[in-house]
Structure 1
Amino acid sequence: MKRLLLSAIALLSIQFLRAQESVDTISSVYDFDYPITVTATAARAETPVTFVNLDREDIAVRNLGQDAPYLLKWTPSVVVNSDAGTGIGYTGIWIRGSDPTRTNITINGIPYNDSESQGVYWVNLPDFSSSADMIQIQRGVGTSTNGAGAFGASINFTTVGEESDPGIHLDGGVGSFGTRRGVVRYRGTTDNGYTIDARYSKIHSDGYIDRASADLDGYYAAVSKKVGNGLISLVAFGGHEVTYQSWNGVTQTEIDTFGRTFNSVGTEKAGDPYDNEVDNYRQNHYQLHYNSKLTDALDLTLSGHYTRGLGYFEQYKANETLADYGIEAEVDESDLIRRRWLDNHFYGTVYSLRYRQDRWDLTFGGSANEYLGGHYGEVIWARYAGDSEIRDRYYDNDATKRDFSNYLRANYRLVDEVSVYLDGQVRHVQYDFIGLDERLNQLEQDASHTFFNPKAGLVYLPATGTRLYASFGVAQREPNRNDFVDNPVSTRPVAEKLYNTEIGFSRMLSRANYGINLYYMDYRDQLVLTGALNDVGEYIRTNVPESYRLGVELQGGVQVVPNLTVGGNLTLSRNRVNSFTELLDDWNEGGQVEVVREDTPLSFSPDVTGALEVAYDRKFQQHRIGAALQTKYVGDRYVDNSGADQSKLDGYYYSDLRLSYGLNDRYRLTFMLRNLTNQLYSSNGWSYRYQLDGAANTMLGMYPQAGRNFMLSLGIDL
Structure 2
Amino acid sequence: MKKSLLVFSLLLQFVALGAFAQQTIRGKVIDSLTKESLPGAVITLKGAGISTSTTSDGNFSIKKQDGSNVLVISYIGYNRKEVVVPAGKTDLGQITLTSSSNTMDEVMIVANSIAIDRKTPVALSVVNSERIAEKGGQQEFPELLKSVPGIYATKGTGGGFGDSRINMRGFQSANIAVMINGIPVNDMEDGRVFWSNWAGLNDVTSSIQVQRGLGASKVAVPSLGGTVNIQTRTTDVKKGGFIYQGLGSYGFNKTTFSYSTGLTDKGWAFSAMGSRNVGDGYVNGLAYEAYSYFFNVSKIINDKHTLSLTGFGAPQYHASRFERFTLAYYQDAPQGNKFNPNYGILDGKEKTISGNYYHKPQVSLNHSWIIDQTSSLSTALYGSMGRGGNEFPNNASLFLNTRTGNKYTPVDIDALVDLNTAAQDGKAVAYLQSYRNDHVWGGLMSTYKKKLNDKIDLLGGVDLRQYKGIHYNSVRNLLGAEYVLEVYNGAPTTSRGAGNINNPINMAKTGDKIGFYYDGLVGWQGAFVQGEYSYGDLSAFISLSGSNTSYQRVDHFKYLDSDPARKSAKVNYFGYQTKGGANYNIDQHHNVFGNVGYFEKAPIFEAVFAGYQNKKNADAVSEKILSYELGYGYRSTKFSGNVNIYRTTWKDRSTVNPFYDQATQQFYTANLSGVDALHQGVEVDFKYSPVHFLTINGMLSVGDWKWDSNVPKAVITDVNGAPLAGGSIGPLYMKGLKVGDQPQTTLALGASFDVTEDLRIGADYNYFGRYYSSFVPTLITSENLVPWQVPSYSLVDVNAVFKFKFAGIKSSMFANVNNLLGTEYISDSNAQFNNGISDVNNASVYYGAGRTWTVGLKVNF
The alignment's TM-score, normalised by the length of structure 1, stands at 0.86
TM-fit CA distance, 1:482: 2.7
Q: Which residue of 2 aligns with 1:211?
A: 285
> How far apart in 1 are the matches of 2:772 and 2:837?
22
- Structure 2 matches for 1:185-200, cutoff 5 A? 185-189=258-262, 190-200=264-274
**What is the CA deviation profile of residues 83-129 of structure 1, one whole-angstrom value per residue up to 9, with x for unaligned ones?**
47768421111111211111111111111112123111111122213
- Structure 2 matches for 1:434-473, cutoff 5 A? 434=554, 444-464=568-588, 466-473=590-597
Q: Which residue of 2 aligns with 1:481?
A: 605
Question: Retained in 1: the 8 A contact 2:128–2:206?
Answer: yes
Q: Which residue of 2 aligns with 1:364?
A: 460
Q: Which residue of 2 aligns with 1:675?
A: 819
TM-fit CA distance, 1:207: 1.0
Name the SS of the counterpart of 1:365 in structure 2: strand
Q: Identify which range, 391-400 or 545-554, moves more after superposition.
A: 391-400
Q: Which residue of 2 aligns with 1:634?
A: 768
Judging changes above 3 Å, is the alpha-carbon distance between structure 1 residues 711 and 160 closer, same or farther for their aligned structure 2 residues? closer
- Structure 2 matches for 1:15-414, cutoff 5 A? 33=35, 38-40=108-110, 41-45=113-117, 46-64=119-137, 66-83=139-156, 88-146=161-219, 148-159=221-232, 164-189=237-262, 190-228=264-302, 229-258=304-333, 259-266=336-343, 274-275=351-352, 277-318=354-395, 334-356=429-451, 357-380=453-476, 381=478, 383=481, 385-386=484-485, 388-390=507-509, 391-394=511-514, 395-413=516-534
TM-fit CA distance, 1:221: 0.3
Name the SS of the counterpart of 1:215 in structure 2: strand
TM-fit CA distance, 1:332: 11
Q: Which has the larger radius of gyration?
A: 2
- Structure 2 matches for 1:606-617, cutoff 5 A? 606-617=743-754
> How far apart in 2 are the matches of 1:375 and 1:140?
33
Question: Retained in 2: the 8 A contact 1:313–1:340?
Answer: yes
Q: Which residue of 1 aligns with 2:849?
A: 706
Name the SS of the counterpart of 1:576 in structure 2: strand
Q: Which amino acid aligns with 1:243?
A: H
> How far apart in 1 are the matches of 2:461 and 2:699?
34
Judging changes above 3 Å, is the alpha-carbon distance between structure 1 residues 163 and 679 closer, same or farther for their aligned structure 2 residues? same
Name the SS of the counterpart of 1:334 in structure 2: coil
1:498 to 625, 641, 647: 625
Judging changes above 3 Å, is the alpha-carbon distance between structure 1 residues 91 and 503 closer, same or farther for their aligned structure 2 residues? same
> How far apart in 2 are the matches of 1:159 and 1:168?
16
**What is the CA deviation profile of residues 257-287 of structure 1, one whole-angstrom value per residue up to 9, with x for unaligned ones?**
3221222324799999853532111111111
Judging changes above 3 Å, is the alpha-carbon distance between structure 1 residues 604 and 275 closer, same or farther for their aligned structure 2 residues? closer
Name the SS of the counterpart of 2:361 in structure 1: strand
Q: Identify which range, 352-361 or 249-258, moves more after superposition.
A: 249-258
Question: Retained in 2: the 8 A contact 1:66–1:88?
Answer: no
Name the SS of the counterpart of 1:260 in structure 2: helix
Residue 521 (structure 1) aligned with residue 648 (structure 2): yes
Judging changes above 3 Å, is the alpha-carbon distance between structure 1 residues 147 and 416 closer, same or farther for their aligned structure 2 residues? closer
> How far apart in 2 are the matches of 1:601 and 1:398?
36
Q: Which amino acid aligns with 2:507?
A: S
Q: Which residue of 2 aligns with 1:542?
A: 672
**What is the CA deviation profile of residues 335-393 of structure 1, one whole-angstrom value per residue up to 9, with x for unaligned ones?**
22212222211011111011233101222122101011111222252757456042432
Question: Retained in 1: the 8 A contact 2:296–2:308?
Answer: yes
Q: Which amino acid aligns with 2:814?
A: T
Identity of aligned residues (%): 20
> How far apart in 2 are the matches of 1:249 and 1:319?
14
2:790 to 649, 657, 661: 649
Judging changes above 3 Å, is the alpha-carbon distance between structure 1 residues 59 and 92 closer, same or farther for their aligned structure 2 residues? same
Q: Which residue of 1 aligns with 2:65?
A: none
TM-fit CA distance, 1:184: 0.5
TM-fit CA distance, 1:241: 0.8
Question: Retained in 2: the 8 A contact 1:139–1:154?
Answer: yes
Judging changes above 3 Å, is the alpha-carbon distance between structure 1 residues 294 and 248 closer, same or farther for their aligned structure 2 residues? farther
> How far apart in 2 are the matches of 1:27 and 1:140?
29
* Between structures 1 and 2, the one with greater strand share: 1
Higher relative CO (Cα under 8 Å, sequence separation at least 6) belongs to 1
Question: Retained in 1: the 8 A contact 2:774–2:787?
Answer: no
Question: Retained in 1: the 8 A contact 2:214–2:627?
Answer: yes
Judging changes above 3 Å, is the alpha-carbon distance between structure 1 residues 65 and 331 closer, same or farther for their aligned structure 2 residues? closer
Judging changes above 3 Å, is the alpha-carbon distance between structure 1 residues 76 and 385 closer, same or farther for their aligned structure 2 residues? closer
> How far apart in 2 are the matches of 1:702 and 1:582?
30
> How far apart in 1 are the matches of 2:326 and 2:344?
15
TM-fit CA distance, 1:423: 0.7
Judging changes above 3 Å, is the alpha-carbon distance between structure 1 residues 86 and 701 closer, same or farther for their aligned structure 2 residues? closer
Q: Which residue of 2 aligns with 1:325?
A: none
Q: Which amino acid aligns with 1:668?
A: S
Question: Retained in 2: the 8 A contact 1:568–1:613?
Answer: yes
Name the SS of the counterpart of 1:601 in structure 2: coil
TM-fit CA distance, 1:256: 2.8
Q: Identify which range, 448-457 or 65-74, moves more after superposition.
A: 65-74
Question: Retained in 2: the 8 A contact 1:237–1:285?
Answer: yes
Question: Where in structure 2 are there 5+ consecutive unaligned residues?
Answer: 1-24, 38-104, 399-423, 486-505, 560-564, 717-724
**What is the CA deviation profile of residues 230-249 of structure 1, one whole-angstrom value per residue up to 9, with x for unaligned ones?**
22101110010101122433
TM-fit CA distance, 1:73: 1.5
TM-fit CA distance, 1:255: 0.8
2:545 to 419, 422, 425: 425
Q: Identify which range, 369-378 or 51-60, moves more after superposition.
A: 51-60
> How far apart in 2 are the matches of 1:319 and 1:203?
30
Q: Identify which range, 236-245 or 575-584, moves more after superposition.
A: 575-584
TM-fit CA distance, 1:493: 2.9
Q: Which amino acid aligns with 1:579?
A: S
Q: Which residue of 2 aligns with 1:10?
A: none
Question: Retained in 2: the 8 A contact 1:168–1:185?
Answer: yes
Judging changes above 3 Å, is the alpha-carbon distance between structure 1 residues 446 and 651 closer, same or farther for their aligned structure 2 residues? farther
2:710 to 580, 598, 615: 580
> How far apart in 1 are the matches of 2:461 and 2:152?
32
Name the SS of the counterpart of 2:743 in structure 1: coil
Q: Which residue of 2 aligns with 1:9?
A: none
Q: Which amino acid aligns with 1:313?
A: N
RMSD of aligned Cα (Å): 3.5
TM-fit CA distance, 1:658: 0.6
Q: Which amino acid aligns with 1:653?
A: S
Q: Which amino acid aligns with 1:709?
A: T
Question: Retained in 1: the 8 A contact 2:305–2:368?
Answer: yes
The alignment's TM-score, normalised by the length of structure 2, stands at 0.72
Name the SS of the counterpart of 1:124 in structure 2: helix
Question: Retained in 1: the 8 A contact 2:220–2:546?
Answer: no
> How far apart in 1 are the matches of 2:324 and 2:542?
45
> How far apart in 2 are the matches of 1:582 and 1:606?
28
Name the SS of the counterpart of 1:129 in structure 2: helix
TM-fit CA distance, 1:677: 1.2
**What is the CA deviation profile of residues 3-26 of structure 1, one whole-angstrom value per residue up to 9, with x for unaligned ones?**
xxxxxxxxxxxxxxxxxxxx9989
